[in-house]
C-alpha cells in the first residue's frame, strides 16, 4: 500500500539530490545527528507508520465520523489506539527542543512526515497538527509559568490544542469579533463569547484541550488593534500541573461537512455559565501578532494537507491506470483481433497522468524548499543571510497554501477522471480525497486572502528586496540550465516568463497603490496563479538540471526516473507555461469589469 500514498524515490531525490538535506548536519551542531543515514532511517520509519497504522484508519474514520451526544464528542474508535501509538513515537514535535518533548530535527526532514502522515489520514493528523501550532505560541509568547504548565504536555501529546478565531459574524474579518475578556483581581481574565468552525475543538482523545483564544479586553480599541490572545484550557490547570475544575468551555455542536468527517469541527461557548477563565499570552492588544505565528505555520500545514491528497490521488491513479484493461491501442483500433490494453496506454489518460505528475513533483519541491529555507535561516551565519531565507519563507507561504491547494484539488479531480465512473463511487479512494482536499482552499485564510496577502504585503516585503532575491535564485538556476544542451530551450522559455513576470509584478504593485486599487485586488488570484506557476517552473527546471547531469552515469533502474524529470519539465514548458504567459498578458490589462459592474447586474 505504500506506493499509494507517496513516491519514496522522488522524496529521496528532493531530500538528497535537490536540497542536499544531509549537509544541514555540517552547518549547525543542533542538527549534527541528522546526517544522510539518519534521514533515511527516519523516512523509513515515517513510511512504515503511515502505511501500517495510519492509512488503515482513513476510510473507517471517514465512514464513522465524529458524533455529538449529550454534550460529548466522540472520535472514530480506531483513533484512540492510533493517537497513543503516534505519541509513543514522539512524532508530534519533531522539530522542537528535546527540553519540551521534541526531537530537534530540521524542518526539511519533518516535511516527509507531513507528506506521508497527512497522505495516510490528514483529518486525524489535524489533532496533533493544531496541538503543535498552539504549543509554538506558548513557546514564543508564553510566560515561564505557562511554558512549565502546558508546553511539554502539549508537545508530547498528553494534551491537545486548537486555535479559536472564527465567530458567527467574524470569519475572515477577525477584527469584528465580539468575544470579551474582563480582568480579574488575580490577573486572570474571565472570557465570554462564542466560536465556530473550531477544528479539533472537542474530542475524547486526551484529558485536556488547550485553546488559544482571541478576545477583546473591555475598553480596548475596535478592530484588530484591540485584540488580545488568551490561553483557555478545557479544564483548569492547578499550579502544580494537576487538572482542576471544568473551565466552562462547552461544545454546543459539531458540523456535518462535505469532507474531513473524522475531525471534530465544533461550535464552542465560552463562559456561558460565567466561569471561563484564561491567562493572557503576550502583550495586551497584540494578540494578532501572536496568533499569526500559529496561522502561518497552519497555512504551511494546510498546503501539505492539500498536497498529500494530490500525491495520494496521483499514486492511486497510476496504479489504477496500469491495471484497468479497457479499449484497444489507438494504433490497432481497426484490427478486429487486437487485444484490449491497460488504460495507461491511451493518449488522453497519459496526458492526465502527466499533468498530475508535473504538479505533484513541482509542489513537493516547493513545499520542501519552504521548510529548507526555515532551516537555512536557523543555521545562517550572518543576519543578511538569515533575513534572505526568512523572507523566502514569508513570500512563498501564500503560494504554499493558496496555489498549492488550488492545484492539489485539480490533481484530485484529474485522478477521479482517470478512474472514470469508479472514481465517483465511495468504494474507491478518489471520492474521499477530493472531498477532503476541498476545505484546504477555504480554511486558514481563503485562497483569495492568500492572493491578497501576496499582492498587498509580500510583494513589497523588505522594500521589494525579498522578491528580487527570489528572482535572483531563479535566474541562477536558469543560467546553469542554459549550459545544458538538452535543457537550453526550456530554460530560455522560463527566463522569458521570469522577465515578463517581473514586469507584471511591478505593474500590479503600482496599480495596487493607485486609484485602481480595487481592480488590482480583483486580479490578485490570477496573479497568485502566475506566481505559483513560475515557482513550479523553477522547481522543475532545477530538478531536470540535476537529472540531466546524472542520467548518463546512472544505474539502469534510475534512468527512467531521471528521464521522467526531464519529461516533466518538457511537458510543463510546452503545455502549461504558454497558459501562464497568457495569464500574465491578461494581468497587464488589470480588468476592472468585476469592479465596475453594478450589483444589480448579478443574477438574483
Q: Which cell numbers in the block locate residue 542?
A: 532545477
| HSE (side-chain half, CA atoms, 13 Å) at 522 | 15
Residue 197, number of CB atoms within 10 A of its CB: 18
Residue/partner pairs of 5-8 with CB below 8 Å, 24 or more apart: 5/50, 5/51, 5/55, 5/116, 5/119, 5/120, 5/308, 5/311, 5/312, 5/315, 6/47, 6/115, 6/116, 6/119, 6/308, 6/311, 6/312, 6/315, 7/311, 7/315, 7/360, 8/43, 8/47
- Residue 318 CB coordination number (10 Å): 19
Residue 542 CA, distance from chain mean position: 22
Under 8 Å CB-to-CB from 404, ≥6 apart: which residues?
303, 306, 307, 363, 366, 367, 532
Counting DSSP H helices and E strands in the chain, the numbers are 21, 14
Secondary structure element (H or E) that encloses residue 214, with its range: strand 209-217
Which among 585, 400, 577, 590 is positioned nearest to 495, based on CA atoms?
577
Residue 19: exposed, middle, or buried by beta-carbon count in 10 A (0-12, 13-18, 19+)?
buried
DSSP tag of 71: T
**Of the candidates 525, 527, 519, which has an alpha carbon nearest to the alpha carbon of residue 502?**
527
Q: Which of 205, 195, 93 is nearest to 154 (CA)?
A: 93
Rg (CA), the chain: 25
Mapping DSSP to helix (H, G, I), strand (E, B) and coil, where does residue 560 land? Answer: helix
Please give the Cα distance from 311 to 408 (Å, whole number): 8
Identify the active-site residue in 53, 96, 297, 444: 444
Contact 268, 251 (CB under 8 A): yes
Cα separation, 95 vs 485, whole angstroms: 41
> Which residue's C-alpha cell is 493518449?
347
Q: Indicate if 167 belongs to the active site.
A: no
Q: Which residue blocks in 324-446 are alpha helix, DSSP H?
A: 347-379, 383-398, 404-419, 429-438
CA distance 478 to 472: 10
Of 407, 300, 423, 401, whose CA–CA distance to 356 is shortest? 407
In this structure, the dihedral spanned by the alpha carbons of residues 60, 65, 67 and 72, taken in order and rounded to 10 degrees, is: 80
Which are the catalytic amino acids?
A: 444
Amino acid at each position: 500500500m505504500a506506493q499509494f500514498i507517496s513516491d519514496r524515490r522522488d522524496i529521496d531525490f528532493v531530500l538528497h539530490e535537490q536540497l542536499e538535506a544531509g549537509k544541514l548536519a555540517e552547518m549547525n551542531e543542533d542538527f549534527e545527528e541528522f546526517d544522510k543515514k539518519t534521514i533515511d532511517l527516519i523516512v523509513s520509519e515515517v513510511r512504515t507508520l503511515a502505511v501500517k497504522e495510519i492509512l488503515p484508519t482513513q476510510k473507517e474514520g471517514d465512514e464513522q465520523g465524529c458524533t455529538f451526544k449529550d454534550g460529548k464528542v466522540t472520535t472514530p474508535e480506531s483513533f484512540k489506539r492510533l493517537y497513543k501509538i503516534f505519541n509513543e513515537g514522539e512524532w508530534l514535535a519533531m522539530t522542537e527542543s528535546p527540553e519540551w518533548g521534541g526531537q530537534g530535527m530540521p524542518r526539511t526532514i519533518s516535511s516527509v512526515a507531513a507528506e506521508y502522515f497527512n497522505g495516510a489520514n490528514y483529518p486525524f493528523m489535524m489533532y496533533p497538527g493544531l496541538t503543535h501550532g498552539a504549543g509554538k505560541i506558548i513557546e514564543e509568547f508564553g510566560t515561564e509559568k505557562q511554558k512549565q504548565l502546558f508546553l511539554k504536555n502539549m508537545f508530547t501529546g498528553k494534551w491537545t490544542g486548537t486555535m479559536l478565531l472564527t465567530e458567527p459574524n467574524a470569519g475572515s474579518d477577525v477584527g469584528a469579533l465580539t468575544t470579551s475578556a474582563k480582568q480579574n483581581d488575580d490577573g486572570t481574565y474571565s472570557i465570554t463569547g462564542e466560536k465556530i468552525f473550531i477544528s479539533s475543538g472537542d474530542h475524547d482523545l486526551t484529558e485536556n484541550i488547550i485553546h488559544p483564544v482571541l478576545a477583546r479586553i473591555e475598553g480596548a480599541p475596535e478592530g484588530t488593534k484591540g485584540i488580545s490572545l488568551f490561553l483557555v484550557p478545557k479544564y483548569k490547570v492547578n499550579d502544580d500541573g494537576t487538572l482542576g475544575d471544568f473551565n466552562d468551555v462547552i461544545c454546543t455542536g459539531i458540523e456535518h461537512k462535505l469532507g474531513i468527517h473524522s475531525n471534530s469541527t465544533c461550535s464552542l461557548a465560552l463562559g456561558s455559565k460565567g466561569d471561563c477563565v484564561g491567562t493572557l499570552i503576550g502583550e495586551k492588544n497584540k494578540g494578532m501578532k501572536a496568533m499569526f505565528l500559529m496561522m502561518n505555520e497552519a497555512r504551511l500545514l494546510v498546503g501539505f494537507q492539500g498536497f498529500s491528497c494530490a500525491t495520494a490521488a496521483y499514486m492511486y491513479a497510476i496504479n489504477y491506470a496500469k491495471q484497468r484493461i479497457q479499449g484497444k491501442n489507438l494504433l490497432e483500433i481497426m484490427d478486429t483481433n487486437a487485444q484490449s490494453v491497460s488504460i495507461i496506454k491511451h493518449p488522453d489518460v497519459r496526458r492526465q497522468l502527466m499533468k498530475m505528475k508535473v504538479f505533484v513533483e513541482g509542489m513537493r519541491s516547493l513545499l520542501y524548499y519552504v521548510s529548507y529555507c526555515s532551516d537555512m535561516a536557523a543555521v545562517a551565519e550572518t543576519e543578511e543571510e538569515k533575513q534572505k531565507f526568512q523572507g523566502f519563507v514569508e513570500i512563498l507561504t501564500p503560494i504554499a497554501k493558496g496555489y498549492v491547494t488550488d492545484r492539489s484539488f485539480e490533481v484530485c479531480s484529474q485522478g477521479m477522471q482517470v478512474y472514470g465512473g469508479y472514481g465517483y463511487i465511495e468504494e474507491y479512494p478518489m471520492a474521499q480525497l477530493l472531498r477532503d482536499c476541498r476545505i484546504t482552499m477555504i480554511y486558514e485564510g481563503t485562497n483569495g486572502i492568500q492572493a491578497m496577502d501576496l499582492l498587498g504585503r509580500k510583494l513589497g516585503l523588505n522594500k521589494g528586496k525579498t522578491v528580487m532575491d527570489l528572482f535572483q535564485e531563479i535566474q541562477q538556476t536558469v543560467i546553469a540550465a542554459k549550459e545544458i544542451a538538452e535543457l537550453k530551450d526550456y530554460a530560455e522559455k522560463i527566463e522569458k516568463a521570469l522577465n515578463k513576470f517581473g514586469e507584471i509584478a511591478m505593474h500590479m504593485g503600482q496599480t495596487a497603490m493607485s486609484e485602481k486599487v480595487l481592480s488590482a485586488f480583483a486580479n490578485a488570484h490570477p496573479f497568485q496563479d502566475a506566481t505559483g506557476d513560475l515557482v513550479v517552473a523553477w522547481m522543475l527546471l532545477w530538478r531536470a538540471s540535476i537529472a540531466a547531469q546524472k542520467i548518463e552515469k546512472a544505474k539502469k533502474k534510475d534512468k527512467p526516473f531521471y528521464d521522467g524529470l526531464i519529461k516533466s519539465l518538457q511537458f510543463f514548458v510546452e503545455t502549461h507555461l504558454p497558459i501562464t504567459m497568457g495569464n500574465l498578458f491578461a494581468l497587464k490589462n488589470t480588468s476592472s469589469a468585476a469592479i465596475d459592474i453594478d450589483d444589480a447586474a448579478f443574477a438574483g
